[in-house]
Homo-oligomer: A and B are copies of this chain.
Amino acid sequence: MEFDNNIPIYMQVVENIKKEIVKGNIKLGDKLLSTRDMALEYKINPNTASRIYKELEQQKICFTKRGLGTFITEDKEMVKMLRDNMASKLLEVFLQGMEDLGYTKEELINIIETKYKESDLND
């Protein structure tokens, strides 16, 4: 995983894990890597790894069982919420940003459709 130098590493990993949950690659109740293993996996400092779990716990995405490790919450609503929240945040940033640049709705839809045609050609 490549890190953007301007965003805290732990934040980037947190977002990455949330994405994996939404995509279903990590499932409800799954045990997460130990901080040590996560540090190896992402090539980060163990302190940073433990901060990631702290953040995930705060967001009620996982919880810790003493001596057993850290697990994804069992709450089924969570995934749905996660997906919706992340998507609407993305959407808002995008639409607001484009509006700030003076793009009209028509231009905007045009751009997205063009983009899609391009990627269709590449498929």
Contacts and interface: CB of A to CB of B under 8 A. Distances in A.
Contact of A98 (B64, B90, B100, B111): B90
Contact of A94 (B19, B66, B90, B109): B90
A91 B95 CA distance: 9
A90 B86 contact: no
Nearest to A109: B112
B102 A22 contact: yes
B98 A87 contact: yes
A122 interface: no
Interface of A: 5, 8-9, 19, 22-24, 45, 58, 64, 66-67, 83, 86-87, 90-91, 93-95, 97-98, 100-103, 105, 109, 111-112, 115-116
